[in-house]
Amino acid sequence: MVLVTLVLSLFHASLVGSQSTQSPGQACNPPHPTEQSPLGADSLSFPWSRLRLPRYIVPLHYHLLLHPNLTTLSFTGSLRIQIHVQNDTNWVVLHSKDLEISKATILDQNLTHLSDKVIPVLHNAAHEQAAIFSPRVLNAGQTYFLYIEFRAELTEGFYGFYRSNYRTSAGKIRTLASTHFEPTSARMAFPCFDEPSFKANYSIMIRRSPEHIALSNMPVEKTVELNDGLLEDHFAVSVKMSTYLVAFVICDFKSVTATTSSGIQVSIYAAPEKRQQTHYALEVAVKMLDFYEKYFNILYPLPKQDLIAIPDFQSGAMENWGLTTYRETSLLYDPLTSSTADKLWVTMVIGHELAHQWFGNLVTMEWWNDIWLNEGFARYMEYISVEATYPELRVEDYLLDTCFAAVAQDSLNSSHPISSPAESPTQIKEMFDSVSYDKGACVLHMLRHFLTDDVFQSGIVRYLRKYSYSNAQNQDLWDSLANTCSEEDFTSGKHCYSSSQASKNAYLFAGEHLDLTAMMNTWTLQKGIPLITVTRNGSHLLLRQERFLRTVLPSDPLWSTLQQGYLWHIPLTYKTDISSTIHHHLMAAHTDNLHIGEEVGWVKVNTDMTGYYVVHYEGNGWDELTKLLRENHTALSYRDRTHLIHNAFQLVTAGHLSLKKALDLIGYLRLEKHTVPLLEGLGYLKAFYRIVEKRNAYDLTNNMGMYILHFFHDVIGQQTWSDTGSVSKRRLRSELLSLACHLDDPPCLQRANQSFRDWLQSNGTLNLPTDVAETVYSVGAQDDHGWASLFHTYTISFSETHKHKILSALASSRDINKLHRLLELGLEGKVIRSQDLSSLIFMVARNPQGHHLAWNFVKKNWGTLVHKFQLGSFCIRTIIIGTTGQFSSPEELTEVQLFFQSIKEQASQLRATQVALDNVQKNVLWVQRNLGPLRNWLNEQMN
């Protein structure tokens, strides 16, 4: 095979049309064309200097033939791309990464070669780009075909076209090949214009052996038998879509199939011996597609939707159009070993990925800076869809946790705006974080409540219809929600009303027409979350907004600098004791004043936490709310009670409220019957315990544990070791018994040990109640025989959710040698899959015996971890933030800083390293300010 490629580590940027002042989104001028260009690659310089591709060539249709070889673990391919040229040029620049291009040629509309000579292909490895030179000018306004032949290895990791395997019950290893392209890895499978705005159609053909099947975005139209015994599947032409949504899988999986009410064929694929775990997912997927077609009032545009469980998968799932791929724990449900939490997770993930078939696939963000338009919407639609289709799962109880997770990151100075610049693949990967997903969802939740359900729903339907098979930006969403559009759109009468009509029927708020764009820009274009300080002054509430920060105290000299320039347009809501009415007010200034009346006793701001902001009650405001909770806590909704608990402890960390006041606030929890506020209060006590148990403060650790067990004694005693009751009761049982056994509660340990002995005597065939299985295993894992038995069960289990529970138990061992063995097995990637290594590291770091072990493991194996997971990936973030998040001393902070300095070249590219430093700094501040008060408060309670 003759390669005509030239890898250039340095390239020249002096060609026409590559001025650095030009914005990335503009249509760029090509290098100056010439008819007499020499064909020797040595005489050519790479013609493009930017990370983003030039806009003067647009792909229309990819004809892709692939032949993956699952024996040699490599693949060959040929590709014909129909392209439209918008400016005269000699160059076609596109993406290619780790592909060996053996042949490239350009043909005209009649498929005639433009040259009879070998065409040079140049590479810029740093930018993952290839440039193909045409000896004849490609003329503006004309269509051409780019033909490329290439080969590559099936990669070892989780991106591009990669290999995976699974073990049969007979012990045989089966190999498969699968894809994961989002955000920038389609270029690892075939040369392409790998940016979301380059949408095109795809005609895909895949060669395979008869014992395998091939799946892609579209159904197979025909299968051709080749001379060498291979089969070639020809898939139907796809709809117009972005490269990152292309997918193909070659495997020997089995499926179950059903049909939606509109005739869409839905199939769930899994390894043959896991087929019995696919039935619940099939039921969910059919229900979800039916729901979304009604909610969006747009039919799903493909004839089929496949969902497939891939044994090796880094993220939770991926929304490839018509072929969504999943980690096994995100798709498979085993009634014998999966808990109610596992069931909810599968339901929500399917809801998320199928929402993407509209938000993300049908309408795609213009560029990765607005990935929240995909992920924020899909995260929010999880809650809307599951609440509508499976109300018994009580998914609305978890929305608060999503918003609390967003607050946790957004209250650090290292946070970023929802819409943020992202250019390199590493920067783009880092955009897939809690801000894009969780904050995006919570801002949409706030907007939905502000605009009303009907207005919100009709606005997003308008948005989806207007930008179908196209790309959109923030402004396009605000225009659709505000019912405004251009005169051209208005006269077509399809999507919206005129601006004048919008003024008449848009949202009148506080007597004025709302500027939705101005309001929403304050939530998407600036980072952070507002803090509303409420002061009662007779019949008035005085309001003040500022940026809420947990890493810098108000007394710090940096405080005022970090506050400058921040202002939000906040849709406030509040309730009082004299009425059930929810009052609304739009706060668009730093200070404001509300008249509530002299007769009002208490005020609760941010009703049900529909707004994305933290509230602090100055003066005796917190005392009044504490008194209310103790005397009549049901006067507030369970969401309001949960919100008060969350805000109080966040304000403690930020230095606005004393720890004593927050702890006094949750004193009412003995009376609490609802799971959500109970778990919120318990969560903070558990977090404090986990901090002190890692600091060798034995007296404080002991007192803290005794207090938690004493305080929650009655509710712990009410728990049964079973799987009975509502989803909420089962969630509470799982959390309470896990903590009680961790705190060495004698009745809990006695019952768990007995259950574990029963399990051992059955040789692992006894199915423990799924809600308490992990707790039982964790207790049993503390001795050598129990640990070894669990490890053996881990190696032979066919349920990934079961294996996850066992792995968590194994990682709870107090034996350092066992923890070290687990980490080494995770790094090796055979017994413990590489996909589970990041969560394993976090599990070990959470263990008081393992937090320094995990950190030292990360430092020692940093290069290997980056090679496995790629810089900027979710796994690398989990590893960095999960290990360092356990630290709370100045010495540990210094150690983390020194390590990040030692990997400066990589650390400087990562936002996660700054998030990690902020987290440790926050912990250090918390300990310095609150360890003494916590000790004193506990002493008072114990006496």
Amino acid at 83: I
What's the token pair of residue 774?
């992990």
Higher pLDDT, 494 or 599: 599
Distance CA 620, CA 87 (A): 69
- List, for residues 71-110, the tens digit of each pLDDT value: 999 999 999 999 999 999 999 999 999 999 999 999 999 9
917 by Cβ neighbours in 10 Å (0-12 / 13-18 / 19+) ranks as buried
Identify the pLDDT of residue 323: 98
- Choose the weakest-confidence range: 221-225, 241-245, 482-486: 482-486
What's the token pair of residue 406?
């967003």
Amino acid at 152: A
The continuous run of DSSP H or E covering 174 comes out as strand 173-180
> Given the structure tokens 């139907």, which residue do they identify?
236
- List, for residues 224-261, the tens digit of each pLDDT value: 999 999 999 999 999 999 999 999 999 999 999 999 99
Q: How far is CA 549 from the centre of its chain?
A: 23
Sorting pLDDT into bands at 50, 70 and 90, what band is 33? low
Distance CA 317, CA 320 (A): 9
Distance CA 500, CA 143 (A): 42
- List, for residues 400-457, the tens digit of each pLDDT value: 999 999 999 999 999 999 999 999 999 999 999 999 999 999 999 999 999 999 999 9
Mean pLDDT of 16-35: 39
Q: Give me the sign of the Cα torsion angle 365, 369, 373, 376.
A: positive
The single-letter DSSP state of residue 437 is I
Distance CA 911, CA 435 (A): 12
Q: Report yes or no: 320 and 186 within 8 Å, Cβ to Cβ.
A: no
How many CA atoms within 13 Å lie on the side-chain side of 274? 27
Question: Could you tell me which residues come within 8 angstroms of residue 772 by beta carbon, excluding any fewer than 6 positions away?
Answer: 721, 722, 733, 734, 737, 752, 755
- List, for residues 46-56, the tens digit of each pLDDT value: 999 999 999 99
The single-letter DSSP state of residue 17 is T
Neighbours of 82 (CB within 10 A): 18
How many CA atoms within 13 Å lie on the side-chain side of 154? 22
Bond before 769 cis per omega within 30 degrees: no
> Which member of 182, 353, 546, 693 is catalytic?
353
Sorting pLDDT into bands at 50, 70 and 90, what band is 493? very low
Could you tell me which of 399, 218, 186, 207 has the C-alpha nearest to residue 304?
A: 218
Identify the pLDDT of residue 32: 53
Distance CA 382, CA 359 (A): 12
Higher pLDDT, 19 or 242: 242
Identify the pLDDT of residue 31: 53
Helices (H), 307-431: 328-331, 340-356, 372-389, 399-410, 425-430
Q: Tell me, yes or no, if 599 is annotated catalytic.
A: no
Amino acid at 819: L
φ, ψ of residue 317 to 5 degrees: the values are: -170, 170
Amino acid at 609: M
- List, for residues 825-837, the tens digit of each pLDDT value: 999 999 999 999 9
Mean pLDDT of 608-637: 97
Helices (H), 187-240: none
Distance CA 908, CA 919 (A): 17
Sorting pLDDT into bands at 50, 70 and 90, what band is 500? very low
Amino acid at 13: A
Amino acid at 786: G
* 585 three-class SS: strand
- List, for residues 801-824, the tens digit of each pLDDT value: 999 999 999 999 999 999 999 999
Could you tell me which of 158, 150, 27 has the C-alpha nearest to residue 87?
A: 27
Q: Report yes or no: 384 and 719 within 8 Å, Cβ to Cβ.
A: no
Distance CA 347, CA 242 (A): 26
Could you tell me which of 454, 108, 523 has the C-alpha nearest to residue 297?
A: 454
Neighbours of 510 (CB within 10 A): 10
Identify the pLDDT of residue 484: 53
pLDDT exceeds 80 at position 18: no
Identify the pLDDT of residue 942: 85
Distance CA 588, CA 519 (A): 8
Question: Could you tell me which residues come within 8 angstroms of residue 233 by beta carbon, excluding any fewer than 6 positions away?
Answer: 205, 206, 207, 208, 214, 216, 220, 222, 223
Neighbours of 326 (CB within 10 A): 25
- To the nearest whole number, what is the mean pLDDT of the chain? 92
Identify the pLDDT of residue 696: 83
The continuous run of DSSP H or E covering 80 comes out as strand 74-85
